[in-house]
Amino acid sequence: MKNIKNGFRKWKKNFIKYMKRVRKEHLIYEYMKNNVLFLTFVIVCVLESTVLRFFCMHSLENFLSWKAILGDLIVVVFAGSFGYLFKPKNRFYYYFGFNAFFTAICIINSVYYTFYTSFASISMLSLTQYIGDVGDAVVENVLQPKDLLYLIGPLVLLVLHVRLKKKKYYKKVELKGERRRKTFKTLGASGALLVIFLFTLSSLDVSRFLKQWNKEYIVMRFGIYIYQANDVVTSIQPKINSMFGYDKARKRFYEYFEMVPENPNKNEYTDLFEGKNVVVIHAESMMTNAMDLTFNEKEVTPNLNRLAREGMFFSNFYSQVSVGTSSDSELTYNTSLMPTKSGTAFVSYSDRSYIGIPDLLKEKGYYTFSMHANNADFWNRRAMHNKLGYDKFYSKVDYEISKENVIGLGLSDKEFFKQSIEKMEKINEEHEKWYGLLIMLSNHTPFSDVDKYGEFPVDMKETITHEDGTTEEVVYPYMEGTKLGNYFKSLHYADEALGDLIQGMDEKGLLENTVVVIYGDHDARLSRRDYNRLYNYDKETNDILEEENENYKEYDSYQYELGRKVPFIIWIKNSVGTKINQKNENVMGMYDIVPTLGNMFGFYNRYALGHDIFEIKENNIVVFPNGNWVNNKLYYNAQKASYYPLSEEEITEEEITNHTEYTNQLLDVSNDIIVFDLLNEDKRKAMEMIEEK
């Protein structure tokens, strides 16, 4: 009897457990059944953000990061909770609208990342006015089929909506009190998830989140939706800070520059070119790594190579652009300031005061001018060139442009240089000393006017000798028909145009007392995968070598980033055999040009952030807008918090910490200078007078 009772109790206990489980499963089933629209909305939005990380950051660790998924989930659940306030028949429109919003965020960032290898910022909305001028480049070089995958999300919701309508899902009645309870419960769930998320944050996470420099890190750690919300706050912050944060910025500004001498140090290159004319070539998308390439024993850039051999060639020179690309390079080249953290200086801060090379040379009696056969208002150059001190800006309206002499975005470089020489002849006659900037255009993405670049095959030719002694030339496609191959063709054309310019100026006598300065404004903005065929071509299969092949060359993210170097050359006629005829291998950045040229031409900008390379030499460091930095010993990636060694010298943790702190300080000061207009002497003096009173 006792065994029967014990058996019954055991059965009863198990039965109760079973019924609880059934009830629980039933409740879960009922919840899913009654909230299918909300749950589908959540799943679709989180999947879209995960797909975005997959396309942008590739590795499993990044795109399946549970921290990023949790961050996205919090935002989506929070947004979705308010859908319950609507009646069932109207609820779909709320969820569909929000999903369309999240989908747009993913598409915009997917497209943006393809071009800039970074995530989008709301501050760049002011630049949409320029899309019309580069529309073909965006469509051909950036928009890809993968960017349309995100549209599957809204389609899933639409299909579900149709099915639910057929099942009369929207006919059920929910009282206002019930809808409110669902809203508060869902908000509570998002709040609980938020608390869990906050406990996972480290001080480093919070610091990077607030600074918003390392966008990849933020998206990987917080998710795309939190990143985008933070970006909105960060983008409007400069406008708020410019009203309320002036004192703090000015204090930081004075502390940074108090150790900078009133007058520069002298070295063997001091005043070497004082009084000489200057022509500066802003070389669109020219890259140093292309200078080493040949196709069928023909150099991609024979003229650039010749000028590098005869002049002073800085082989480890880096552009320091952000989202403002060419305008950022002009800013840094002219002022030795870095791009702003949000927006671009040329567009967002064109009303600020700047100390530009043209202004400094005008004080020495130079006539200054700039030439660019594009719309004067593109990148707001009309206003900014005036701000930087150019006496005259020759733009599109000053050139004769016909259908036959257009390549890419405008007047071909060869025709641009030809007409510019005519203008420089007149300037040379009217002015004793002059300084001019010539901005090239033809070598601009998408590099698609192949039929206008001239004959330069980027295939691979081999001569095969048969057993009977006869020979045959075999042609392998190699880089033909690829984006990178088209870039080499475009670059070869631009190089020819550069050679024509030097020859044309020489024929007109414009090189007799003139220094030629050439800088690449930025890299070609091509993705890392475009280089895989270049380095791993298998002629036997006309394909890319397998990674397991012993001849396969790994081209990782570090090599890709370091491969973005651009040329910087200082050249004068008959320079062979002089101290100008040398190669400088010390790492150097765009912001080092002002102090370096200033030393050679006799002008000085005390508020330059860079250094005279002849003074600092191997101790130089190049800072990038995203917080990365490079010196002769290593390249440091702030997003990954890791480095790539460039020499066999010992690298200490203290050294990395100090350089990273210096990088952050420099970026802060540079941003303060522009946002708070700290170079405006009248403003500074007025503030000092107020403080004295």
Across the range 389-412, mean pLDDT stands at: 94
Across the range 367-385, mean pLDDT stands at: 92
pLDDT band at 22 (very low <50, low <70, confident <90, very high): very low
The torsion of the CA quartet 627, 110, 561, 213, rounded to 10 degrees, works out to 0
- HSE-CB at 491 with a 13 A cutoff on CA atoms is 28
Residue 603 sits at the vertex; the CA angle it makes with 600 and 606, to the nearest 5 degrees, is 115
pLDDT at residue number 137 = 52
pLDDT exceeds 60 at position 690: no
For the ranges 303-307, 345-349, 679-683, the lowest mean pLDDT is seen at 679-683
d(CA 185, CA 11): 36
**Which amino acid would we find at residue 560?**
Y
pLDDT exceeds 70 at position 48: yes
d(CA 47, CA 51): 6
pLDDT exceeds 70 at position 238: no
Across the range 536-540, mean pLDDT stands at: 92
Across the range 232-257, mean pLDDT stands at: 79
d(CA 395, CA 376): 5
CA 288 to chain centre: 18
Closest CA to 283 of 346, 398, 396, 372: 372
Instruction: Give burial (CB, 10 Å; 0-12/13-18/19+) of 552.
Output: middle
How far are the Cα atoms of 269, 605, 617 from residue 620, in angstroms, in the given order?
A: 17, 18, 6
DSSP 333: H
Closest CA to 440 of 329, 309, 573: 329
d(CA 447, CA 453): 9
pLDDT band at 561 (very low <50, low <70, confident <90, very high): very high
pLDDT exceeds 70 at position 242: no
Tokens of 244: 């309320």
Across the range 183-206, mean pLDDT stands at: 89
d(CA 682, CA 248): 18
- HSE-CB at 583 with a 13 A cutoff on CA atoms is 9
DSSP 31: H
Provide the β-strand partners of residue 534: none
DSSP secondary structure letters along 627-670: S-EEESSEEEETTTTEEEE-SSS---HHHHHHHHHHHHHHHHHH
pLDDT at residue number 301 = 98
Angle between helices 224-244 and 36-57 (to 10 degrees): 80
pLDDT exceeds 60 at position 11: no
pLDDT at residue number 3 = 59
CA 140 to chain centre: 18
Q: What percent of the chain has pLDDT over 90?
A: 62
pLDDT band at 656 (very low <50, low <70, confident <90, very high): very high
Token look-up 């191959």 returns 485
pLDDT band at 239 (very low <50, low <70, confident <90, very high): low
What tens digit of pLDDT does each residue of 282-323 get? 999 999 999 999 999 999 999 999 999 999 999 999 999 998
pLDDT exceeds 60 at position 20: no
Contacts of 225 (CB under 8 A, 6+ apart): 49, 71, 72, 75, 76, 102, 105
- Which of 595-613 are b and which e, b meaning 16 or more Cβ less than 10 Å from the residue's Cβ? bbbbbbbbbbbebbbbbbb
pLDDT band at 61 (very low <50, low <70, confident <90, very high): low
Q: Which helix (H) or strand (E) holds 158?
A: helix 152-166
pTM of the model: 0.76
**Which amino acid would we find at residue 627?**
G
d(CA 493, CA 487): 10
Q: Which helix (H) or strand (E) holds 394?
A: strand 392-394
pLDDT at residue number 545 = 93
Three-state DSSP state, 314 = strand
pLDDT band at 479 (very low <50, low <70, confident <90, very high): very high
pLDDT band at 667 (very low <50, low <70, confident <90, very high): very high
For the chain, state the CA radius of gyration. 30
d(CA 411, CA 566): 23
d(CA 505, CA 513): 11
- What residue segments make up the domains of the chain, in order of their start? 35-243, 247-521+565-692
pLDDT at residue number 125 = 57
For 583, phi then psi, to 5°, come to -110, 125
* Pair 605, 594: CB distance under 8 Å: yes
For the ranges 253-262, 328-337, 408-417, 431-440, the lowest mean pLDDT is seen at 253-262
What tens digit of pLDDT does each residue of 212-230 get? 656 777 888 899 999 998 8
Peptide bond into 238 cis (omega under 30): no
pLDDT exceeds 80 at position 515: yes
Q: Which helix (H) or strand (E) holds 426?
A: helix 413-430
Q: What percent of the chain has pLDDT over 70?
A: 88
DSSP 373: S
Across the range 476-501, mean pLDDT stands at: 97
For the ranges 154-163, 171-180, 437-446, 459-468, the lowest mean pLDDT is seen at 171-180
Class of domain 247-521+565-692: alpha beta
What tens digit of pLDDT does each residue of 84-141 get? 888 888 889 999 999 999 999 999 888 878 765 678 877 555 555 555 555 555 555 5
Closest CA to 278 of 501, 568, 515, 437: 515
Tokens of 156: 């899933």
pLDDT band at 606 (very low <50, low <70, confident <90, very high): very high
d(CA 433, CA 436): 10
Tokens of 433: 């000393």
Instruction: Give burial (CB, 10 Å; 0-12/13-18/19+) of 242.
Output: middle
pLDDT at residue number 164 = 87
For 466, phi then psi, to 5°, come to -85, 170
Instruction: Give burial (CB, 10 Å; 0-12/13-18/19+) of 250.
Output: middle
Three-state DSSP state, 436 = strand
pLDDT exceeds 90 at position 341: no
Closest CA to 204 of 669, 641, 666: 641
pLDDT exceeds 80 at position 676: yes
Across the range 379-398, mean pLDDT stands at: 94
Instruction: Give burial (CB, 10 Å; 0-12/13-18/19+) of 25.
Output: exposed
Higher pLDDT, 46 or 464: 46
Tokens of 468: 């009977």
Higher pLDDT, 388 or 685: 388
| Cβ atoms within 10 Å of 336's Cβ, excluding its own | 26
| Cβ atoms within 10 Å of 125's Cβ, excluding its own | 11
pLDDT at residue number 19 = 46
* Mean pLDDT rounded to a whole number for the chain: 88
* Pair 77, 236: CB distance under 8 Å: no
Token look-up 């001190």 returns 389
DSSP 338: P
* Pair 415, 445: CB distance under 8 Å: no
